Chain A
Amino acid sequence: MPIAIEMPKLTDTMEEGILVEWSVEEGDKVSAGDVIALVETDKATMDVEAYDDGVLLKKVANTGDALPLGGLIAVLGDAGEDIAELLKEYQSNGVDSSSTPDSSNEAPPAVVQAATHQPAASPQESSSTNGRTKASPLAKRMATDHGLKLVDVMGSGPSGRIIKRDIQAEIDRTHVLKPSLPSPQVPVSAERGYESIRISSMRKTIARRLAESKDTSPHFYLNADVDVGALIAQRQTVNEYLEKSSGFKVSFNDFITKACASGLIMHPDVNVTYASEDGVIHRYNYVDVGIAVAIDDGLVTPVVRDAHLKSVSTIGLEIQALATRARDKQLDLSEMEGSTFTTSNLGMFGIESFTAIINPPNACILAIGSIRDVPVVEDGAVVAGKRMKLTLSCDHRVVDGAVGARFMSTLKELLENPVSLLL
């Protein structure tokens, strides 16, 4: 009996998966536990494993296809086995990879089109045989460097292999569409119009989670303007020492992360999540801080575990490593889950202050602005000062104004007396 390999539920929140790469070819022997394919979920790229032994009889889905949960990826069985009936079954059920995911009402037309099985003389098809996109190592690297998707490129090498000149042509083409520097001159040759950019799994997740957050948790905001003169001096002292001993430097963000962790231990009522379905509020005795990191096509929030127990430099090293891995899309799902609090820093873009949307299931998020030179009044005289605006977004279902304000007051005090963060 042929066995269907279906799109599994690889994350709690996954609704569909995009087939990124095949790990086996049709006709290959497969043992239970072998990786069949790589699938991009809403959170990470993950392995799909076989549960049975057999021969891979047919790859039903193509690379690039978005399949709903339960969508047919491939068929496993004994060599030569008839699979027509099984395929028919899936087609009539309407859950094979070419159908619109019926659990979702947001299936964009582009996704459905990419998932059709009709062989077509489209660029997507030409370089793929058996669902695998052939490209030279250099072409792959160039595509990654320029943020191009290989499936969008027509291969001109043998068997449709995508080679350097194909990528170069694509770069030249997209370069015309998107000049790298903002220019007031409209390119004469470009026609008016718009591009249709396929919504990535990550973009869908961001859209869904943040809309859900704003819909369900009533946000209110607390602002504080922190005197960071002492923090600047403290950081310089610390970095002079660190640079000599290890060549590493800590950032303002590392100090702020540490301050948040210390403050949250002192104000556990802010370090909570609202578990409405269980009728409880979870109050944590540890602080895991999620750090919002912008990556090429979205953002992720890798988590610094037990930040309250770690030194500023340890936190700095961890954030640096996590951010690098985030940009390289190397993060495991487990590294992005389970934060109790999140920070988002746009100071490096010169943003004075902003309000952030709470990252569920957290109760609060801290938005960090830039450090500004401001005139301040000290002892009746105007002098030069350094200030930074912090904005705490709170979920009023669990955190009340005074609770949040007490935390912000502590945070301000810690940052204005930064030696406290080194103790």
Chain B
Amino acid sequence: MAELQLREAIRAAMVEEMDRDEDIFLMGEEVAEYNGAYKVSEGMRERYGERRVIDTPISENGFAGLGLGAAMNGLRPIIEFMTWNFAFVAIDQIINNAAKIRYMSGGQFSFPIVFRGPNGAAGQLAATHNTSVEALYSCFPGLKVISISNPDDAKGLLKSAIRDDDPVVFLESEFMYGMRGEVSEAEDYTIPIGKARIAREGDAVTIIGHNKSYWRALEAADMLAKDGYAAEVIDPRTIRPFDWDTVIHSVKKTNRCVIVDESNPFASVASEVAFQIQARAFDDLDAPVHRVTAKDTPAPYAKSLIEYYMPSAEDVYHACRQVMYLN
């Protein structure tokens, strides 16, 4: 095992894959000359040259479409969005072309493309730069959606995403790029898309959290452990396809569930997970499924407000105690 920052783990995945396959290239704003806005692609321009690590103008709709055209013609692009907030101007390319053309062309065209970049809130960036997009992209059959919480998963899943013949939306986090963690050094290390990870086993309550929310789930589990309760913490890792079996199996054991999701609550990933749990494990539920999400407003700017706006470990802890009937 090697200890890497999240940004280094993502870079390692891209480098290993680009070494292996010449059809893979990286394209986005500031990825080449500047070594990446968050230094994810540091040194890659030097390693692969400007033909395979390409700076773009500020034109997300343009370079997302360019990537799709390249993918249709046999290349395997990695498109970096500086943040997913900027991808809204490219959304037609992702939703109407990437997600649907394989279906509409009867399988004649596939899109081995990865769209990646940081997702969700990142502090005092105000409403337009604090959006969580996983529920949005998960609405559209044809896209795979991965949201990672740690360096090891980032490397293993990004390699799988690059090798996948379908378009993958790969969600990272500004807050986590500097996070260090053990990363497998196994040769050709990949993690299958669609497999959740049981981060901690327990029988008192199931807590589900992805990306940053995973860490809030884990912190709440620590607080519950001090009270003498073992919470089971699940990181779904892949939002689409979702690993229902792991979640349902866990809920059947614990009989209660709290979902942590930093998106706005309406029609969020938490909504869908809660629906599936009540449909598939109704007779095993001892309490209504609870969720902890961002507040139902645009993200505020003020420091005190954004802290209040985001789900906290305390919020998760209290939600757990509520479904455990301990309050």
Contacts and interface: CB of A to CB of B under 8 A. Distances in A.
B271 to A, nearest CB: 19
A138 B325 contact: no
Interface string A155-172: 011100001110000000
Interface string B269-310: 000000000000011111100000000000000000000000
Nearest to B288: A136
Nearest to A167: B286
Contact of B325 (A137, A140, A141, A156): A156
Interface in A124-174: 136-141, 156-158, 163-165
A141 B283 contact: yes
A208 B284 CA distance: 40
Contacts, number: 27
B285 A157 contact: no
Interface of B: 255, 282-287, 325
A163 B287 CA distance: 8
Given A139-B286, A158-B325, 13 more contacts: A136-B285, A137-B284, A137-B286, A138-B284, A138-B285, A141-B283, A156-B325, A157-B287, A157-B325, A163-B286, A163-B287, A164-B286, A165-B325
Interface of A: 136-141, 156-158, 163-165
Contacts of A139: 286
B299 to A, nearest CB: 32
B325 to A, nearest CB: 5
Contacts of B283: 137-138, 140-141
A157 B287 CA distance: 9
B17 to A, nearest CB: 46
**Which 7 pairs show the lowest CB-CB distances between chains A and B?**
A164-B286, A138-B286, A141-B283, A136-B286, A137-B283, A137-B282, A137-B285
A158 to B, nearest CB: 8
Contacts of B286: 136-139, 163-164
A141 B281 CA distance: 12
A164 B324 CA distance: 10
Nearest to A165: B325
Nearest to A140: B283
Nearest to A164: B286
Interface centre among B255, B283, B284, B286 (most CB of A within 10 A): B286
Nearest to B283: A141
Nearest to B252: A138
B77 to A, nearest CB: 48
Contacts of B325: 156-158, 163, 165
A234 B286 CA distance: 51
Nearest to B255: A138
A141 B284 CA distance: 8
Contacts of A140: 283
Interface centre among A136, A163, A165 (most CB of B within 10 A): A136
Nearest to B327: A158
27 contacts: A136-B285, A136-B286, A136-B287, A137-B282, A137-B283, A137-B284, A137-B285, A137-B286, A138-B255, A138-B283, A138-B284, A138-B285, A138-B286, A139-B286, A140-B283, A141-B283, A141-B284, A156-B325, A157-B287, A157-B325, A158-B325, A163-B286, A163-B287, A163-B325, A164-B255, A164-B286, A165-B325
A139 B285 CA distance: 8
B326 to A, nearest CB: 11
